[in-house]
């Protein structure tokens, strides 16, 4: 008889729980060994829900020398279990901070929690974040007799949570620099730093990124390395967060260009899910709305015309005049959207009116062939 199948660790990001509770585990410890032996500073760029937090927790247990958890895994015979490193774990995943003061309070709490766990003191005089972090690193090394491993999860989340408000995002960036710059000054006391990013679909919406081009983008090193909040390119964010990877390189006029692509089918599906959540969230009722609503959609292509800057939406409880019946040809209820005008002029939604338990919405999408993008989107609720 074959042994029973192990439980899948769905939603579990704690390495010790997976091992001790007998969950299925795909052994990634050989990668952890390669990182530990190959360098000192690492940036892990993978999309959300791809196991970064679990991997960081695995590194934490590894550097803390929890040997029993790694028995039977690839790294066990190759790791020096007599050496144990104090680990400082900083995680910005929980909650949203919207001001520099709130960020400083969050950082202070994280540093004090680490100090208590490591059994050392952290001087919080005058809310001096660099001073406290430096004290923590040095005290942890002195107390434990070995250099410190620093693990940072969602290192840029405070910035990306506010990326649509540039002044606030820049202020939070300075607050994070106040923390991270300490690590460079304390390099002699540090054994190992990793960081994992978060990703925000709303930047793609704000910049009207042309999504079908993601499989064939070419970019220079300047774009891929940049993180200028005021002028951040969506391609930069997609690359730095692991949704795009380098497929090939070529030289053009003494400049190296990189052709980018989606890394694999898993990443493509994950990105598609994020896009669906992000873009359907702009429609009435959000992602669940298709279950109890009907959408009549018309798509128009224009060539170099200049449609309105902003789209107009009507709340579901405020139908436009004339929604009760098909309007006269050429009328669009005053919204100025040619796709929506055609729906209403030709009565496309007439046969769906009055269906019990169903909402009905008319949606007009306008694409510009020169901009190669969606330039106008409007919807109206139909009684």
Which range, 234-238, 274-278, 335-339, is most confident?
335-339
Distance CA 310, CA 308 (A): 6
Start and end residues for every CATH 3.40.50 domain found in the chain: 15-196
The structure tokens listed for 276 are 């669906």
Which of these ranges, 145-154, 219-228, 289-298, has the smallest mean pLDDT?
Answer: 219-228
Mean pLDDT of 110-118: 93
Categorize the per-residue pLDDT at 209 as very low, low, confident or very high, splitting at 50, 70 and 90.
low
Q: What percent of the chain has pLDDT over 70?
A: 75
Which range, 146-155, 188-197, 226-235, 303-312, is most confident?
146-155
Residue 319 per-residue DSSP state: P
**Measured in Å, how far apart are the chain's first and last C-alpha atoms?**
62
What pLDDT is recorded for position 292?
A: 76
Q: Give one DSSP letter per residue of 196-260, joined into a string.
A: E----HHHHHHHT--GGGGGG-EEEHHHHH---GGG--HHHHHHHTTSSEEEEEEEETTEEEEEE
What pLDDT is recorded for position 76?
A: 95
Return the SS3 of 379.
strand
What pLDDT is recorded for position 161?
A: 81
pLDDT digits (tens, 9 = 90+) for 224-271: 666 566 666 777 777 766 778 888 888 888 888 888 888 888 777 777
The CATH architecture to which 15-196 belongs is 3-Layer(aba) Sandwich (3.40)
What pLDDT is recorded for position 260?
A: 84
Which of these ranges, 75-79, 272-276, 279-283, 336-340, has the smallest mean pLDDT?
Answer: 279-283
pLDDT digits (tens, 9 = 90+) for 51-104: 788 888 999 999 999 999 999 999 999 999 998 999 999 998 888 889 999 999
- Is the CB of residue 284 less than 8 Å from the CB of residue 316? yes
Categorize the per-residue pLDDT at 207 as very low, low, confident or very high, splitting at 50, 70 and 90.
low
Categorize the per-residue pLDDT at 319 as very low, low, confident or very high, splitting at 50, 70 and 90.
very low
Whether residue 3 has pLDDT greater than 60: yes
Distance CA 108, CA 100 (A): 12
What pLDDT is recorded for position 67?
A: 96
What pLDDT is recorded for position 211?
A: 62
CA-based max dimension of the chain: 83
4-28 in b/e form (b: 16+ CB < 10 A) is eeeeebeeebbbeebbeeeeebeeb
What pLDDT is recorded for position 77?
A: 95
More confident residue, 156 or 85: 85
Whether residue 317 has pLDDT greater than 60: no
Categorize the per-residue pLDDT at 334 as very low, low, confident or very high, splitting at 50, 70 and 90.
very low
More confident residue, 296 or 288: 296
Which range, 4-13, 15-24, 155-164, 360-369, is most confident?
15-24
What pLDDT is recorded for position 264?
A: 80
């Amino acid at each position: 008889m074959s042994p029973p199948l192990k439980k899948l660790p769905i939603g579990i990001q704690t390495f010790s729980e997976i091992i001790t509770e007998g969950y299925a585990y795909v052994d990634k410890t050989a990668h952890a060994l390669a990182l530990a032996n190959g360098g000192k500073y690492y940036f892990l760029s993978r999309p959300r829900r791809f196991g970064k937090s679990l991997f960081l927790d695995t590194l934490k247990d590894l550097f803390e020398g929890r040997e029993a958890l790694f028995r039977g895994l690839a790294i066990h015979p190759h790791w020096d279990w007599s050496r144990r490193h104090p680990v400082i774990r900083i995680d910005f995943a929980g909650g949203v901070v919207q001001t520099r003061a709130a960020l400083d309070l969050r950082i202070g709490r994280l540093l004090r929690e680490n100090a208590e766990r490591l059994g050392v003191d952290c001087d919080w005089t005058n809310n001096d974040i660099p001073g406290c972090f430096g004290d923590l690193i040095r005290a942890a090394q002195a107390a434990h007799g070995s250099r410190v491993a620093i693990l940072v999860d969602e290192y840029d989340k405070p910035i990306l949570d506010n990326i649509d408000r540039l002044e606030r995002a820049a202020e939070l960036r300075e607050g994070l620099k106040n923390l991270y710059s300490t690590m460079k000054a304390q390099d002699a006391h540090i054994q190992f730093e990793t960081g994992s990013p978060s990703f925000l679909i709303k930047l793609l919406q704000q910049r009207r990124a042309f999504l079908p081009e993601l499989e064939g983008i070419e970019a220079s090193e300047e774009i891929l390395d940049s993180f200028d909040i005021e002028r951040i390119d969506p391609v930069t964010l997609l690359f730095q967060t692991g949704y795009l990877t380098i497929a090939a390189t070529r030289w053009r006029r003494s400049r190296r260009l990189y052709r980018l692509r989606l890394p694999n089918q898993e990443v493509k599906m994950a990105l598609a899910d994020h896009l669906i959540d992000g873009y359907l969230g702009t429609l009435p009722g959000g992602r669940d709305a298709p279950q109890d609503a009907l959408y009549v959609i018309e798509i128009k292509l224009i060539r170099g015309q200049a449609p309105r800057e902003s789209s107009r939406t009507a709340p579901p409880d405020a139908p436009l005049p004339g929604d009760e019946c098909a309007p006269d040809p050429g009328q669009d209820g005053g919204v100025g959207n040619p796709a929506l005008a055609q729906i209403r002029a030709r009565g496309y939604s007439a046969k769906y009116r009055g269906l019990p338990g169903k909402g009905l919405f008319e949606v007009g999408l306008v694409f510009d062939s020169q901009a190669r993008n969606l330039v106008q989107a409007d919807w109206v609720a139909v009684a």
